[in-house]
Amino acid sequence: MTLTEQELRTLDYEPDPGGHFGDYGGRYVSETLMAALNELDHSYQKLKNDPDFQREFDADLASFVGRPSPLYHADRWSKVIGGAQIYFKREDLNHTGAHKVNNTIGQALLAKYSGKPRVIAETGAGQHGVASATVAARLGLECVVYMGADDIERQSPNVYRMKLLGAEVVSVESGSRTLKDALSEAMRDWVTNVDNTFYIIGTVAGPAPYPQLVRDFNAVVGREVKWQSREIFGKYPDALVACVGGGSNAIGLFYPFLRDVEVAVYGVEAAGRGLSTNEHAAPLCSGRPGVLHGAKTYLMDNSDGQIAHTHSVSAGLDYPGVGPEHSYLKDIGRANYVGATDEEALAAFHEVSQVEGIIPALETAHALAYTKTLAASMRPDQTIVCNMSGRGDKDIFTVAKMEGISLT
């Protein structure tokens, strides 16, 4: 399974025409969805080389999102740790506060160029719903967001944000009243309304071509790091680190560097209460291959083959599957996948807030926790780029509550 260094250096890292990354990915969906996915694949393969489309995408990334995001030297934190120089790729400074908008802008433009006036999305914690509602407003598209009834109760500020942005939020009362039920409803909507509707998926998971197109829209992150690292420290980083929920911020950073095999790559999953407990969300560290949400990939299941219950302190990492390209990169040995626990993430959350003046998202705090361990094992003339996938404003209530502090 593991490839040689020479093979890793020359691989093209593109899916085959069926959307497979090695054994993973593909389209494990019903006949009715197959037609919609084929149509999407066709328009994407055409539009990704269309100069008008690319120009509009780049212009929105610059003037609406605020790209390029800075590459910031976490000088004080590097000194405190006493190992490698740590740099943060500041996706937290993007409009809406995370990397997700890179992808939703791309998909909303695909909707526009494919003549679809209506977009739908599903959301758990609400971050992807807000990012979708934002770009729909920007482009004048109708937007419907499916959300589990329980999640609506838990995430009322994001529900209100989506409404302020003009989106309709549909409460899903069936099943466990959470993300997976919202996902089923969104799928049903898409099949019924495919003629006028574009389905915006929030990470590099799902059936082909979604893992490829979401990766391509986020790859601006890694492309910027390539020129920024040369400009700032005169070479590529020795290592890249990013948290992995579905895996979109991670693949966005990693993808442009995959053939540069001297750059080590680390994806950090949510180890929750520990990888030896069942209370985590780390399919690459401790799951096995299977089929989830239309693609073959590593996932977490129990002994009956049912998708397992997951746990993480961060909603954005609390997912039993992972994008299929990560499964492939793990098997061929190009990327390493490790875990950070809730406790380690919280410690990094506080330390980076106090030492660098940046409050990170709890998802990002997992990447920071591993960055600390890795930096300590490296020399001061070496460099790590850690993807600061989002800002922590949304998480201060969770952190306060865990520490027994009431904010309202």
Ligand X SMILES: *Cc1c(COP(=O)(O)O)cnc(C)c1O
Q: Report the number of secondary-structure helices (H) and strands (E) in the chain.
A: 17, 14
Q: Choose among 66, 62, 67, 384: nearest CA to 229.
A: 384
Residue in this structure with the two tokens 């989002």, named with its chain if needed: 390
Q: Which of 91, 122, 344, 363 is catalytic?
A: 122
Given a contact cutoff of 8 angstroms between Cβ atoms, the answer to whether 41 and 19 are in contact is yes
Helix, strand, coil: what percent of the chain each, to 5?
A: 50, 20, 35
Taking contact as CB under 6 A, which single stretch among the options 132-140, 142-150, 243-251, 374-382 is the one that binds ligand X? 243-251
Q: How many residues bind ligand X (CB under 6 A)?
A: 18
Q: Could you give the string, one character per residue 341-380, with x where binding to ligand X holds by CB under 6 A and - elsewhere?
A: --------------------x-xx----------------
Q: Choose among 127, 131, 146, 133: nearest CA to 187.
A: 146
Does 129 engage in binding with ligand X (CB under 6 A)? no
Does 123 engage in binding with ligand X (CB under 6 A)? no
Residue nearest to ligand X (CB): 390
Does 249 engage in binding with ligand X (CB under 6 A)? yes
Cα dihedral sign, 215-221-224-230? negative
Quick one: 110 or 201, whose CB is closer to ligand X?
201
Min dist. Cβ of residue 322 to ligand X (A)? 8
Min dist. Cβ of residue 15 to ligand X (A)? 17
Does 399 engage in binding with ligand X (CB under 6 A)? no
Q: Which of 89, 100, 116, 330 is catalytic?
A: 100
Clarify whether 122 is annotated catalytic. Answer: yes
Min dist. Cβ of residue 315 to ligand X (A)? 8
Min dist. Cβ of residue 58 to ligand X (A)? 21
Cα–Cα distances in angstroms (integers) from residue 123 to residues 170, 186, 247, 365, in the given order: 11, 10, 16, 21
**Using CB under 6 A, which of 94, 132, 197, 248 touches ligand X?**
248
* Residues numbered 302-331 forming contacts with ligand X, rule: CB under 6 A: 316-317
Does 215 engage in binding with ligand X (CB under 6 A)? no
What is the Cα–Cα distance from 110 to 22, expressed in whole angstroms?
Answer: 27
Given a contact cutoff of 8 angstroms between Cβ atoms, the answer to whether 204 and 211 are in contact is yes
Does 104 engage in binding with ligand X (CB under 6 A)? no
Q: Choose among 304, 324, 300, 294: nearest CA to 312.
A: 300
Min dist. Cβ of residue 138 to ligand X (A)? 19
What is the Cα–Cα distance from 52 to 71, expressed in whole angstroms?
Answer: 28
Min dist. Cβ of residue 381 to ligand X (A)? 30
**Using CB under 6 A, which of 245, 294, 320, 324 touches ligand X?**
245
What is the Cα–Cα distance from 173 to 187, expressed in whole angstroms?
Answer: 16
**Using CB under 6 A, which of 8, 244, 261, 345 touches ligand X?**
244
What is the Cα–Cα distance from 317 to 78, expressed in whole angstroms?
Answer: 26
Quick one: 112 or 132, whose CB is closer to ligand X?
132
Quick one: 95 or 100, whose CB is closer to ligand X?
100
Does 108 engage in binding with ligand X (CB under 6 A)? no
* Residues numbered 74-103 forming contacts with ligand X, rule: CB under 6 A: 98, 100
Cα–Cα distances in angstroms (integers) from residue 289 to residues 27, 184, 212, 284, 389, in the given order: 15, 22, 19, 9, 26
Does 272 engage in binding with ligand X (CB under 6 A)? no
**Using CB under 6 A, which of 240, 243, 292, 332 touches ligand X?**
243
What is the Cα–Cα distance from 329 to 332, expressed in whole angstroms?
Answer: 5
Residue in this structure with the two tokens 């799928």, named with its chain if needed: 187
Does 389 engage in binding with ligand X (CB under 6 A)? yes
Q: Which residues contact 62 (CB under 8 A, 6 or more apart)?
A: none
Q: Cis omega before residue 15 (within 30°)?
A: no
Does 247 engage in binding with ligand X (CB under 6 A)? yes
Min dist. Cβ of residue 98 to ligand X (A)? 4
Catalytic annotation, residues: 100, 122, 389
Which positions lie near ligand X, rule CB under 6 A? 98, 100, 127, 203, 243-249, 316-317, 361, 363-364, 389-390
